[in-house]
Chains A and B, each alone.
Chain A
Amino acid sequence: MSEKNIKFVFTGGGSGGHVSPALAVAAELKKTLPDSEITYIGVRNKAEGLMVPKAGLPLKFVKSQPLPQGKSPVALFKFFLTMFSGLLKASLILLKIRPAAVFATGGFVSAPTVFAAWLLRKATFGLFKTKIIIHESNVDLGKMNKAAAKAADEVAVSFSETIKNLPKHKGFFSGYPVRSSIAAMDKGDARRELGIPENAFVIFAFGGSQGSRTINRVLANSAKKLLENKDIYIINGAGKPFGKTYEYHGFNDVSEILAKQGLSEEEKKRYILRDFIDNMGLYYSASDLLVIRAGAGSVVEACSKGKPMLIIPISNIGNDHQIGNARFIERAGAAAVIYEKTDPLNGIDIAFADGKEFCETVSALRNDAERLEKMAEAAKNIFPGNPAEIIVGHILHLCGLGEKPAEIKGAEFLNDRVLGLNSTSLEKFLKKVKSGAEKPLEPDEIKLIKNKIDMLFSSPNPVIKARACRSSGIMGYAEATPLIIKYAADKNSAPFLSRDAFAALNDLASVCEEKEKDKIFGAMLEGFASSYYETRFSAEKCVSVFAKRFGLSEDEREKLLAALFKNMYDRCFEVRIEAVLAAAQIAEDSGKLLENFAHLYFDAVWKVRSALFQAFEILIRRGVLDKQKAAVEADKVLITSNGYTTEYELKKHYNSVVELIQEKKQ
């Protein structure tokens, strides 16, 4: 194989974030080996269809699709079918080209090509010699990349942190390759070209090629307030949809909001709205502050330009890699971060950024030139080396055309323990914090978790909402109480949701506000009559804690007791138990209570009878029931039971020795 006609296959895509690093590496490769041939393999109707031809590379299509979310066997079968067809086609293409190496940037798009190359190598016992190199742009390996990493010869990573999750000696740090086509310009020249005065403060907000709803809306809604300062100029790359499926049209959305804002002619001039930005270099150069998302691409690009950033990361349930990126840049001192949130109580379930917080952050930054300068300086230093150059060096080394490039280390990426949690793992984590197995939460962590819980509340799935309730209870998220009361009182709530809402209220009793009292008692009465048994007894469990917290009026006591007496006839034994215990906590008149207990003395479930004895104890301690009477009553209860606690004596002695060894015991 002569060096002249050496061939490569590049693949990866789905979104621009996977295509642009591939193109950056391709450009660098062409620079080093001008006669090499690069073929790109992508999927139809995705970002690569637009971007690759623009870069002047031949593009071939295969079929592929992301891993289906649910467990539906039909979807899984379809997935396998698609992948199989993609694999076949990719194999044919590879056999025809016989490339020296395959470079993949991950995502589902690259899977067929990577696995085809690997299978061809295995099937021909090494006659087919193509090398496989993968680039991972995020801190956490994607599912496809995790599998692909096993097939690959080497894996380039954007964050040093990722290497430890890779097979040994496969990973190397490269950073995230950026397009070198974004030429830097003189700030003054750029402003002259855009018609912006020299001394203006220019905010450049850009949410990727498709635009970001959160950035667009917070910016457009704050326009009036921001533009009050005569030196502020806003450049907004609002974006427009390029696929058929993406329904958000950024440019139109922003235009509509701006029309409602009632900006003056002069102010309109200072809000420069664009649908699609081609000449990024010009706008970057002209700006003082970037407002961006925290996708690896945009962050690295902004850093390489040395600009201060205001980052609004995307929050997704179970996947916080953007928040992770944002906090990484923030810790390095190059960015301020505003987190997205939802407002489930007021029915705003689409994530947004708070306008007030946004304006305050922008003006604080504007008035602190020194800080801006430091941020710019910090931004430049975050990512050392030229990622594209490093990757090309490794590709050539693998193909036997060059020396292995020297190792470099990226900045350390602190892994946040509160990131990447989904509804289930969040609850587990909060329990650990509560039990002391994890360190207590820092204030910024509490803020992040509260945002996350709000987001879970905004989920349409009641099971996730229920977990949000439980998490709120565990961490003592008092601000969520009104919402939780709403779920508890609503007859149409899903059974699990109303049950967990009551469980959360139980936990929140000590922190919730006095003014919620009436609503909580109302919710409890609704809960007693719920059609779901777990809701009924969860509501009953709340009685004593709230009676202690708020105190009871005579009227409330009567109402609660009447409902509890009724529930002592419930067909579920747990409802009967909790009714007995709750009644014993609040009753003042022992005679009436004992009358209602009488029918439970021979209850079929011994746990109910055992609850009666607990109730007697509570009543005696509270001084409601005198001891003689209690003795008479206790004697009437059936004390035969079909349950007992096992006790392994041997294990008891074993434990006693272990305790002695561990010096817990004197």
Chain B
Amino acid sequence: MIYTVFKSVFTTGGLAVFKYLSSRTLIAFVTAFFISLIIGRPLINALYRHGFRSFERSYGEINSQKKTGTPMMGGILIFITGIGSALLWCDLANPFIWALLASAVWFAVFGAIDDYKKIKGKDADEGLSRFSKYVIQILFGVLLAVFVLQPDISPLPAEVANSFQFPFFKGFIFSSTVLTFLWIVFIIVYSANAVNFADGMDGLTIVPSVFVFIVLGVFAYIIGNKIQAQHLLYEYIPGSGEIAVFCGAVVGAGIGFLWFNSHPAEVFMGDMGSLFLGGTMGTAAVLIRQEVVFIIAGAIFVIEITSTFVQENIGFKMHRRILYRAPLHHHYQHQGMAEAKIVTRFWIVSAIMAALALITIKFR
């Protein structure tokens, strides 16, 4: 919104700096972060007051060694600050931003419903069924794929929309509309689920998510800039630079959330947070067609979802546990490792993987 104002009013002069992508990305980041600091405490208190807490079985059974009673659905904090800042600083006429906002609202709303049902039922099994979650994710994946692949409405150039790009290789590897369609649906379902599974320890989801958004933001900035894209041998996608501003806003919101969520957590993001992060992350990656980079940067999420799959699907068919526990962070916890240690180590791995994803820019 502010962008629109500045664009029409300040065509020249010092304040025209707000027109630049890079400066708006930084400002979006700072705005989201400071909104978090300001509204975080009252919002968390409000959640607690209205009973949005992780379940306690009954009055007087609060385990002083466990986290029961911590306010849940903190995803609403990330959502308000991230989307609020994005609305302020993004170009709202940009179709990439429409898609991102749509995914944000879609996943946040369904995540909120899921959280609400769980909290009301006082049981993690009371939320949306796995089946309906898949339906919701697949439906969005299909809509996004149509948006990207339908030439009349797609903001992407037709030859970019339906071709696959891989890191370390320049240009397109191959093109196929059908495969791209399936691939996009898969990426959306994968990212929403993977982030959801990773949500289980203080700060375990938010920091790797922030790293992934930084990587995606850098890529969006390059791909959306004609000179940079040509220089670094990427396919130029006009208008996609705006995604960087959105990423900046979500990064700011994420770090603002970490302020409260760092161990020992004062608030949990819940499914509202994890589905929102996973959904927008996947959408952003699809919109710049850098899904493989996204998978590398979010390697932690790959590990988490794979370990769950191995344990639940392969292991159960073999009638045995393959890991001690799943997802992987519980495997280490079962061995007695303290939560703060596991989380820090996962951060280290995700930082390294994010750096690796950035290095692929130059090595092609």
Q: What separation, in Å, do the CA atoms of A534 and B64 have in the docked complex?
A: 30
B residues in contact with A370, CB < 8 Å: none
Using A573-B335, A607-B336 as known contacts, say yes or no to A497 and B319 having CB atoms under 8 A apart.
yes
Which chain A residues lie closer than 8 Å to B60 at the CB level?
655, 658-659, 661-662
Q: How far is the CB of A67 from chain B (nearest CB, A)?
A: 13
Q: Which of B264, B319, B321 contacts A462 (CB 8 A)?
A: B319
A494-B64 CB under 8 A given contacts A607-B335, A642-B338 = no
- Interface contacts (Cβ under 8 Å), in number, total 58
- Dominant secondary structure at the A interface: helix
Q: Is the CB of B62 within 8 A of A641?
A: no
0/1 interface trace, chain B 31-72, chain A, CB 8 Å (1 if under)? 000000000000000000000000000011011110001000
Q: Is the interface of B mostly helix, strand, loop or mixed?
A: loop
A651 & B336 in contact (Cβ 8 Å cutoff): no
A-binding residues in B (CB < 8 A): 59-60, 62-65, 69, 264, 316, 318-321, 324, 335-339, 341
Known: A607-B336, A651-B63, A659-B60. A646 touches B319 (CB 8 A): no
- Residues on A with C-beta less than 8 A from B320 are 494-496, 532, 534
Contact partners of B69 in chain A: CB under 8 A: 651
Pull 5 A–B residue pairs with CB atoms less than 8 Å apart, ordered by A: A463-B316, A574-B324, A646-B339, A647-B64, A651-B63
Residues on A with beta carbons closer than 8 Å to the beta carbon of B337: 642-643
CB distance from B131 to the nearest CB of A (A): 8
Which residues of chain B come closer than 8 Å to A605, judged between CB atoms?
335-336
**Which residues of A in the span 632-666 have a Cβ within 8 Å of any Cβ on B?**
641-649, 651-652, 654-655, 658-659, 661-662
Residues of A within 8 A of B (CB): 462-463, 466, 494-497, 532, 534, 573-574, 605-607, 641-649, 651-652, 654-655, 658-659, 661-662
How near does chain A come to B187, taking the closest CB pair, in angstroms?
Answer: 20
Contact call A606/B336, Cβ cutoff below 8 A: yes
Q: Are A495 and B335 in contact (CB under 8 A)?
A: no
Indicate whether A647 sits within 8 Å of B65 (C-beta atoms), given known contacts A605-B336, A606-B336, A642-B336.
yes
Which residues of the other chain, B, contact A645 by a CB distance below 8 angstroms?
Answer: 65
CB proximity of B264 to chain A, nearest CB, Å: 7
In the assembled complex, the Cα of A494 lies from the Cα of B321 at a distance in Å of 12
Expressed in whole angstroms, the Cα–Cα distance for A153 and B283 within the complex equals: 46
Contacts of A606 in B (CB 8 A): 336
Q: When the two chains form their complex, are residues B336 and A643 in contact, meaning their CB atoms are under 8 A apart?
A: yes
A652, B338: Cα distance in complex, Å: 21
Q: Which residues of A contact B339 (CB under 8 A)?
A: 646
Docked Cα-Cα span, A532 to B315, in Å, equals 12
Closest A residue to B263 using CB positions: A646
Known: A607-B335, A645-B65, A658-B62. 7 other contacts (CB 8 A): A462-B319, A463-B319, A494-B320, A496-B319, A605-B335, A658-B60, A659-B60
Chain B residues, Cβ within 8 Å of A662: 60
Given that A607-B336, A641-B336 are contacting pairs, would A651 and B62 also be in contact in the complex, using a CB cutoff of 8 Å?
Answer: yes
Between B60, B69, B319, the greatest number of chain A beta carbons within 10 A of the residue's beta carbon is seen for B319
Find A648's partner among B65, B318, B324, B335 (CB 8 Å cutoff). B65
- A609 closest partner in B (C-beta): B336
Q: How far, in Å, is B320 (CB) from chain A's closest CB? A: 4
Contact of B64 among A532, A644, A652 (CB under 8 A): A652
- Taking each of A495, A606, A651, A655, which has the highest tally of chain B beta carbons within 10 Å of its own beta carbon? A651
In the complex, which residue of chain A has the Cβ closest to the Cβ of B342?
A: A642
A651–B338 CA distance with the chains assembled, in angstroms: 20
Question: Nearest residue in B to A462 (C-beta to C-beta)?
Answer: B319
8 cross-chain pairs, A with B, having the tightest CB-CB distances, nearest first:
A495-B320, A494-B319, A643-B336, A651-B64, A658-B60, A652-B64, A607-B336, A496-B319
Q: How far is the CA of A534 from the CA of B318 in the complex (A)?
A: 14
| CA A654 to CA B63, docked complex, whole Å | 10
Question: Chain B residues near A466 (CB, 8 Å)?
Answer: 319
Of the candidates B63, B318, B336, B341, the one whose C-beta lies within 8 Å of that of A495 is B318
Q: How far is the CA of A645 from the CA of B337 in the complex (A)?
A: 10
- The complex places the Cα of A642 from the Cα of B64 at a distance, in Å, of 21
CB distance from A290 to the nearest CB of B (A): 44
- Contact in complex: B318, A643 (CB < 8 Å): no
| Contact in complex: A646, B65 (CB < 8 Å) | yes
CB distance from A571 to the nearest CB of B (A): 12
Q: Which residue of chain A is the closest to B69 with respect to CB atoms?
A: A651
Residues of B with C-beta under 8 A to A654: 62, 64
Pick the most buried of B264, B321, B335, B338: most chain A CB atoms within 10 A of its CB. Answer: B335
- Tell me, in angstroms, the Cα distance from A163 to B257 when the chains sit together: 49
Residues of A within 8 A of B264 (CB): 646, 648
CB-CB under 8 A from A652, the residues of chain B are 64
